[in-house]
Each structure stands twice: as C-alpha cells, then as structure tokens.
Amino acid sequence: MTKINLNINDGFLKKLDEISKKENMNRSEFIREAVENFMAIKQEEESRQIRKKKIEDAIQFFGKMSRKNKDWDGVKEISKWRESRKIN
C-alpha cells in the first residue's frame, strides 16, 4: 500500500482522532473510509446529473416533435419503444 503525506491543522487532527477512536479505527482506516465515501457520493451526484441531462434532452425532443407534428404522440412512441425492447 502506498503512503502519502497529509498536512492538516492541529484542531482538525484532534477531531479526526476523536472520531476515529469512537469508530474503533486508526487514522489511516478512518481517512480511507471517509475518502471512499466522498468519492461514492461524488460519483452518484455525477450519475444523477447525467440522468437529469438525459431527461431534459428527452423533454426538449418531445416538445420539438410535438410542435413540428401536431399528430405525433410521445407517449405512444415511448410505449412502442418499450414493447420493442421486451424479451419474449
């Protein structure tokens, strides 16, 4: 395992030691777990943003299609697409 150096102030180190002791972890374990949790949260946020963008794009597409063709029905199109993807 690779070692790294980390500069933190004394007050923060004291808090870190208090919490890691309560969690029955040493500093390294606590910091590793904290960083892993932070990275997982950031990854989930990124995934959420990607999903949000796709939904916004789909809404814009359906709006554009309905304005171009008054008879076009987005709900029917989605139903057709879902049906075509079902495995028999």
Question: Average per-residue pLDDT in the chain?
Answer: 89
What are the domain boundaries of the chain?
A: 10-85
Question: 14-42: buried (b, 16+ CB within 10 Å) or exposed (e) per residue?
Answer: eeeeeebeeeeeeeeebbeeeeeeeeeee
- pTM higher than 0.75 for the full model? no
pLDDT digits (tens, 9 = 90+) for 40-55: 999 999 999 999 999 9
